[in-house]
Structure 1
Amino acid sequence: METAMTALFLSGALCHLLVLMIGLSQGVHSVPVPTDLPMCTASEPAQYSLTFSGKWTRAAFPKQYPVYRPPAQWSNLIGVTHSLDYHMWQRNEFASNGVREFAEKSEAWTLMKEVETAGERIQSVYGILSAPAVVGGTGQMDTEFEVFARHSLMSFMVRIIPSPDWFVGVDSINLCNGDKWKESVTLELFPYDAGTDSGFTFSSPNFETIPQDRITQITSSYPSHPANSFFYPRLKHLPPIAKVKLTKIKKTNQIISLPMEPTQSNLLPTGNEIEETLINTPLDCEVSVWSPWGLCKGKCGESGVQHRTRYVIMHPANNGVACPLLEEERKCIPDNCL
Structure 2
Amino acid sequence: MKKTTLLLSIILILLAVQLVLSQSMARYTFTFTSTWNSTDHGTLPGSAHWSDLVGATHNNNITFWEPGQLATQGIEDVAELGSNTNFNSEVNTAIGNGDADQWLQATFSPFAAISSATLSNIIVSSDFPLLTLASMVAPSPDWFVGVSGFSLLDTGGNWKPMVTTDMFVYDAGTEDGTTYSTSNPDSNPQVDIFSRVNMTPFNDQRIGYLTIMLDEVLNVPESDFDRSVRIYPNPVTDVIHIYNPLGHDIARISIYDMIGNRVSELTPLSNDTYFPVNRNGLNSGLYLIAIQHENGSVSTRKLVLK
Residue matched to 1:129: 104
How far did 1:60 drift?
3.1
Residue matched to 1:192: 170
1:95-244 to structure 2, matched below 5 A, reads 95-121=71-97, 123-134=98-109, 135-144=111-120, 145-177=122-154, 178-203=156-181, 205-220=183-198, 222=199, 228-230=200-202, 232=203, 238-244=204-210
1:68-107 to structure 2, matched below 5 A, reads 68=46, 70=47, 72-107=48-83
Tell me, yes or no, if the aligned pair for 2:211 and 2:259 is still in contact at 8 Å.
Answer: no
Tell me, yes or no, if the aligned pair for 2:161 and 2:213 is still in contact at 8 Å.
Answer: yes
Tell me, yes or no, if the aligned pair for 1:42 and 1:149 is still in contact at 8 Å.
Answer: no
CA distance in 1, matches of 2:216, 2:87: 32
Extract unaligned runs of 5+ from structure 1. 1-40, 223-227, 233-237, 255-271, 276-338
Greater mean deviation of Cα atoms: 42-51 or 182-191: 42-51
What whole-Å deviation, never above 9, does each CA across 1:71-96 have from its counterpart, x for those lacking one?
x2111100100001111111110000
Q: Percent identity?
A: 28
Greater mean deviation of Cα atoms: 203-212 or 109-118: 203-212
How far did 1:42 drift?
6.7
How far did 1:173 drift?
0.6
Residue matched to 1:318: none
Extract unaligned runs of 5+ from structure 2. 1-20, 227-256, 261-306
SS in 2 for 1:101: helix
CA distance in 2, matches of 1:243, 1:196: 25
CA distance in 1, matches of 2:53, 2:31: 11
SS in 2 for 1:119: helix
Larger fraction in strand: 2
Describe the shift of the 1:79–1:137 C-alpha distance in structure 2 as closer, same or farther (beyond 3 A).
Answer: same
How far did 1:274 drift?
5.6
CA distance in 2, matches of 1:143, 1:204: 28
Tell me, yes or no, if the aligned pair for 1:54 and 1:137 is still in contact at 8 Å.
Answer: yes
SS in 1 for 2:216: coil
Q: Which of 33, 36, 54 is the equivalent residue of 2:34?
A: 54
Tell me, yes or no, if the aligned pair for 1:74 and 1:160 is still in contact at 8 Å.
Answer: yes
Computing the radius of gyration from Cα coordinates, the structure with the larger value is 1
Greater mean deviation of Cα atoms: 244-253 or 104-113: 244-253
What whole-Å deviation, never above 9, does each CA across 1:153-200 have from its counterpart, x for those lacking one?
111001101110000000011111233211011100000000000011
Tell me, yes or no, if the aligned pair for 1:101 and 1:107 is still in contact at 8 Å.
Answer: yes
How far did 1:43 drift?
3.9
> Does structure 1 residue 245 correspond to structure 2 residue 223?
no
Aligned partner letter, 2:193: I
CA distance in 2, matches of 1:239, 1:179: 32
CA distance in 2, matches of 1:147, 1:171: 16
TM-score w.r.t. length of structure 2: 0.62
Describe the shift of the 1:83–1:207 C-alpha distance in structure 2 as closer, same or farther (beyond 3 A).
Answer: same
> Does structure 1 residue 64 correspond to structure 2 residue 40?
no
What whole-Å deviation, never above 9, does each CA across 1:107-148 have from its counterpart, x for those lacking one?
111111111112112x10111111102411112211121211
Tell me, yes or no, if the aligned pair for 1:77 and 1:158 is still in contact at 8 Å.
Answer: yes
Equivalenced residues, count: 201
CA distance in 1, matches of 2:40, 2:186: 29
Residue matched to 1:323: none
Tell me, yes or no, if the aligned pair for 1:88 and 1:156 is still in contact at 8 Å.
Answer: no
CA distance in 1, matches of 2:38, 2:216: 37
